[in-house]
């Protein structure tokens, strides 16, 4: 699996969990947890981080250019390919950080609801 595939796979997995963030936030507030409570704020931060990641990713990698458009690869030199791979590595790091935020905020909210 290449770096782009890893980033996209992680993104897709997180998109499925976006509904969990909202659902957990609703459950917490229905149970009387203040909207300013860290549990709620962490869920909001996870969602916001995902939105920021997607915005930055789409600005950095337009759909009609390599690597999103794999057919546009032919005219790219090694230096540019190396630069693109470096940028993809940074995107991978960012999406994994978002994934950690999701995991932590979801786990903490679920634990609080079960009490």
Residues 93-106: tens digit of each pLDDT = 999 999 999 999 99
How many domains is the chain partitioned into structurally?
A: 1
**Domain residue limits at 57:** 3-114
Give the Cα separation of 74 and 23 in Å (integer). Answer: 45
Other beta carbons less than 10 A from residue 84's beta carbon: 19
- pTM summary value: 0.89
Residues 74-84: tens digit of each pLDDT = 677 889 888 98
């Amino acid at each position: 699996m290449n770096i782009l595939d890893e980033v996209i796979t992680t993104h897709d997995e997180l998109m499925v969990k976006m509904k969990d963030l909202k659902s957990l936030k609703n459950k917490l507030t229905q149970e009387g947890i203040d909207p300013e409570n860290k549990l709620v704020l962490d869920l909001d931060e996870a969602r916001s981080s995902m939105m920021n990641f997607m915005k930055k990713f789409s600005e950095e990698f337009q759909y009609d250019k390599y690597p999103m458009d794999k057919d546009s690869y032919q005219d790219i030199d090694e230096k540019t390919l190396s630069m693109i791979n470096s940028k993809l590595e940074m995107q991978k790091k960012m999406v994994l950080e978002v994934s950690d935020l999701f995991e932590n905020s979801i786990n903490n909210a679920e634990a609080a609801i079960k009490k």
